[in-house]
Structure formats: C-alpha cells, structure tokens
Chain A
C-alpha cells in the first residue's frame, strides 16, 4: 500500500528521517569538541586532575557520538544523488564545490586527528594531544561553516543564473558562500550546538550531584554548563530574532507560516497558539496578543505583516508544521533562559550546587537542546517548501527517477538500522555516564580490555576463544 505513495513524499520522508537523525550527533559534537578543548586547556594550565578525569570521561562519549555522526553523515553525502538526482544535476554546479570544501577542510581534519585524540595518549606529548583536540574542534566548526553555507544558499540563493538548459550556474562565489541568511544561520546553529552540549553536561552533572557521586567533577561540569546557560542563552535569543528578521526580508512566506497569518494585516496580532488550517486558509482557535506580531517583526505597532494568501496556494509552505515547530523551539529557548537566570540567582545565594529542585530541573532539561535544534530545522526546512532551492527549484521537480517500492524498502531499512544502532549507541553512552569520571577503570578498561598480561602477547592469545 505504501508503495503507491507519492515518490516525492517518500523521498522527503526518507531524507527528513536520515538528516534529522544525523543532525542530532553533530549538534552535540560541535559543542562537545569545543568544550573538550577548554577542559584540556584548563587541565594543562592548572594540572588539576579533575579536569583530566572529566575530559577522559567525555572524550569517550564524544567518540561514540562522533562515530554515529560519521556513519549517518556518509549516508547523507549519497542521498543527494540517490533521492534527489534532478536537484543534484541542476544545483550541482553551485552546491558541489561547497560540499567539496567541507570534505577537504573539515572531514579529513576531524577524522585524522580524532585518532590521535582517542588513541594517541602514549604516543604524542601533551601539547600535541591538545593540538589534536583543538584541530578536531576547528574541524567541526569548518564543517558547520560549509554545510550551513550550502543550506543557506538553498534558502536564500544568490550569485547564480539559470541557464537555458535548466541548470543553475554560479556567477559570484562570494555571493554564493556568503548568501544573505548564512551568517545568521551559522551563528544561530553553532550557538545552538554549544547550548545543546551545555544542557546535556549540566543535566548529567545535576544527576551526579543529586546522588552525591563524583561531586568534584560534577561541580566543574555544572558550573561550566551554567556559565553557558547564563551568558549564551540570551545571546541566542538575540541571534534568533535577527535570523527571523532576515527571514522576513528574504522568505516572507515562511514568516507568515510561523506567525499563522493568512491575510496581510497592519498591526497584526501575535498568535500564541492555534491551528493553522491549510484548506480553510485561517488559523483556528487562535490565542492572540494584539499588535505584538507587527511589533516584533517591524518594530512598529502598526507595521504591515504579509499573510499567506499573498502567495498562490501552490507556493505556500505547510503552515501547521512550521507554526508548531517554531513554538516548540522558542518555548524551549525560554526554558533555557529561565534556567540561566535561576542559576545566576542560586549562584549569588551560594546554592547553585545544592538546590534539589534545580538539580531535577537541570536533569529534565538534558534533551532540551536536541529538541530545540530539531524543531528549528523543521521550521526552516519545511518553511522553505514547496521549493528545494527557494524560488528556483521546486521540490516536486527534484526527485530521482527511483520507483516508489525501492524507496519504501530502503526507508524501512533505514528506520530499522537507525533505531537499533543508535539505540545501542545511546545505551553505551548512558553506561559511560553511569560509570562517571575518575572511576577505577582507566585506559585499559575503557576499551573493555584487560590490563596487559605478564606473559607475552602470543601466550595470552592462545587462551582466547573462538567467536
């Protein structure tokens, strides 16, 4: 039955599934890599073993997460072609080099020095090891730079021309790379990754404190996480607002969907909640705050906000997804800001590390960053519809000539594999967290290997069993 589905929809579901799964890992590892740099730097400059132990715990989690990010990312580099071959053909001239630069400047760097970071402890000096950590962190940021440039170009394309053959040709690379939405999307996403990591670290630190385990380490972790929550969450709100205004300028239909506004209005109300109905062309059950939408978007009480009816029905994004995903993202952002403010208050009362309800709150906020990142990407990607390259290539015209049944089978295979593999990965990460930093097991145990035997290697090998 599912085979009779629209192949465009199937291709979209499959791509959405694999890319959503993938983005979870980089949004954690970008932040984690930078944090590991800070930890190793503190350790090298203070020689405080707590930093080392925290580093060694998190580098293992980093390795598992990074491994899952790599294997799910390799899939992405092929899916442009397997699912969206017409898009690959038409936009390849512009997007191809950007992805090529991502591989050349980021992937090799990360992959090569990750080996040194994980396995090089006894083979390179501490400075070289620190350099490897730093290089991996720079690699994650370089990767974000190129992939967000490519994505932003699909949102706000410029510096290209459409050839008579239907292909898009670059005319100005600086304009392509630094397209209008790129700076906002880049900083918004990198900051989101830092916050995602901070809330994971903070949540786990709170768990340790609650159970009175690894208290020295947990204080370092919670302290650093709350510095991020206090200082970076408001900054992220400002970045988000700037990103939104940029979207209003270049993709007003997306903003209309976010706001759930159908008729162009002066002094538009902010619809806090409601149900945008694509067929009836109105937002039902709306809870409104008068004039606020105009105030936020135009910085004037009676500013004009365009409604979705300005665009033909075929050119409108599916409003309900965009509307609700946006509210989830912003809602989580508000909870994060609240966490930061509370942390600041508790800190000045000297109660940051021993307030029970706040510990439970931080534990509950552990997945907040992931959810907000996913919701944000749903807003921007679904809000771009019905285009894959905004205004230039329609999604319905981008799909591969692959028959539906193939897509259905591969989609099921991906769902099965990802749920199983990444379920196992999460399980191992939870176990690493359960073990915690600075526990008895050190280098050997980390890899599940016994201490080196007193006998020679070949003597111990004979004792092993067959698989």
Chain B
C-alpha cells in the first residue's frame, strides 16, 4: 500500500507540521483572543465596535488552526492525542467552553442591544480570558511532563494545576494581550489606536518579565534542558534565540514609543516565534514530555503518508486564500460593518 515511509522521515516531518500548525494557531488566534482580553478596557463603545470588527472576518479561520492542531495530532500521533487529552481534561474542556462564549459573541453582540449587548461584551472578554489562561495552563502542565503508564495517562485529575501552570497561564494572557494591542494599533486610528498603544507599552514589560521567568525556570526544573542549553558547544548555537528575543523587545519598545503602526505587531509575533522555538528545542524529541517521543507516538506510515500528500497540496492553497482574505480586509477598520 501507499507508503512514503521508505523515502521520508515521516514522524519528523509531522512533528514539524503539527508544531507549525500550533504555532500559527497561537499567533493568529492569539491576536483575536488578545483583542477579547483588552476589550472591556477600551475607552468607548465605538472603540469596542472597531476592535470587534477588526477581527470579525478572521476569528473563525484563526480558530481552525486549533482544529488542525487537534485533528492533526489525532491523525499523525494518535497515541499522543490519546494521552494528552485525558491528562489535560479539565483545562481543555474549560478552554473549549471559553471559546464557545467568545465565539458566539461575535454574532450575538451585534444583534443585541442595551444590557444584553453588555452581557455579550463580557462574554467575549471572559471567554477569551478563560480560553487563553487555560491554554497557558495546558502549556505549563505540558512542559512539566505527563505521567504515563503503558499507552495511557496515569496521573491524577488535578495534575495540571500548580503554581507553575498558573504562572504560565498568566504569561499567556499578557502575551496574547500584546498581540491583540499591537493588532489594534495596526488596524485602527484615533483614540482607539492611542489607547491600544498605551496598553501595548504597558503589557510589553510584563511579557518580558514572564518570558524571563519561563526561560530561567525551564533549565532549573529539568536537568536535561539545562544540559541542552548550557553545554558547549550548544550554547553558542542556541545563543541567537535569546539574543534575538532581547533585540526584538528593545525594538518593539522603541517603535511603540516612536508611534509606529505596523512594526510592533510583527515584532510581537517575532517574540512569540523565538519563545516558541526556545520551548520547542527544550521539549524535543518529546511529544508527551517526558514519556513518549514523537517517534513512539507516530501513526502507521500509511496514515502519515496519506495525510502528508493532502497537506503538501492543500496547505499552500490554504495559506494562499487565507492571505487573500487578510488582503481583502486590509487597512483600517471602521466601527460600522457591512452585512
């Protein structure tokens, strides 16, 4: 049967693809979740209208990357999917409930008036906040490792809950808020933009602190991670990642104060990229840290082959039309919507 396993290192390719899908999710849904996190603090209702309109055409597509991450994990690494989902049962369910409350707000808010509209404003805010916080906790629990016995999760119902996961949850809230604020700077003007710029300046500092804490705690908690980053010659190869992060923080801070409209958003995405790379390098080759590697979790080569063909053909097409949709809705968003 159809099998590319002889020619290609399928598990490695899929590890890369899933990591990319999850990263695209973090970047793209990150900014619209961030808009939700900042939402109630905006100076006026028409600012909120503009913020909402700036993400309304995109949120659904952005969330699809999460489905691709989940579905792709199921397809390419069913064992990892079968261990991680029960292990992180509660934060994942809470994240999904949060996503429901914020997702429907896009439609309901514009159809409601008066007090019920206010309700959907808060639904959008708290849904985004809870979903983000839970994603951070999932990340925090993930990097600390998951207890596995045989082919199943073997830990307790609350393994995912500790001070560290709470900290990572907060870190992600600030991280998405930064993406959201810089997105709003790019897509609006006037007092909405002024307000978003102040938010971004303020949030940027917190993001720096949290990235610092995570970067220090990872090698402290785990000897393998420490060896990976601080042994010679690794340290020389890996040094560009923290250095690049530092440079982007400085540039972002300067450009925000200079009044740039576009660069802060892309620099914030860059900060996410280097942070994600750092985490990825620390966790490699584990897919369920520190129990199941990506090779052990890989689906049959026939399964990975079939989906790989589709991905190679379709992913560029998808990226193409997603880019086209962003292009259609380019420029500043107004507070009115047309439909």
Residues of A within 8 A of B (CB): 56, 59-60, 63-64, 67-68, 70-75, 77-78, 80-82, 85-86, 88-89, 91-97, 99-105, 107-116, 118-124, 167, 169-173, 400-403, 405-406, 410, 413-414, 417, 421, 424-425, 428, 431-432, 443-444, 446-452, 456-458, 460-467
Contacts and interface: CB of A to CB of B under 8 A. Distances in A.
Main secondary structure of the interface of B (DSSP, over half): helix
Contacts of B339: 56, 59-60, 63, 118-119, 121, 443, 446-447
Contacts of A167: 300
Contact of B329 (A102, A123, A171, A413): A123
Nearest to B154: A401
B74 A88 contact: yes
Tell me if A's interface is mostly helix, strand, loop or mixed. helix
B96 A105 contact: no
Residue in B86, B109, B322 whose Cβ sees the most chain A Cβ within 10 Å: B86
Interface stretch (B185-193, B223-231, B280-288): B185-193
B310 A101 contact: yes
Given A80-B81, A82-B92, 8 more contacts: A70-B103, A88-B81, A100-B74, A104-B311, A118-B56, A456-B190, A464-B46, A465-B45
A413 B134 CA distance: 16
Nearest to B96: A75
Interface of B: 1-2, 39-40, 42-50, 53, 56-58, 60-61, 63-64, 66-68, 70-72, 74-76, 78-79, 81-86, 89-90, 92-93, 96-97, 99-101, 103-104, 106-113, 117-118, 121-122, 151-154, 157, 189-192, 299-300, 302-303, 306-307, 310-311, 314-315, 318, 321-322, 325, 328-329, 334-339
B39 to A, nearest CB: 8
Given A96-B74, A170-B302, A173-B2, A85 B60 contact: no
A112 B61 contact: yes
Contact of B191 (A114, A173, A462): A462
A362 to B, nearest CB: 26
B71 A77 contact: yes
A96 B307 contact: yes
A21 to B, nearest CB: 11
A448 B109 contact: yes
A25 B183 CA distance: 32
A460 B334 CA distance: 12
Given A401-B153, A461-B190, A93 B44 contact: no
22 contacts: A68-B104, A80-B74, A92-B74, A93-B302, A96-B78, A99-B74, A104-B311, A107-B68, A120-B329, A406-B157, A431-B111, A443-B336, A443-B337, A444-B336, A444-B337, A448-B109, A451-B336, A452-B335, A457-B190, A457-B334, A460-B46, A467-B42
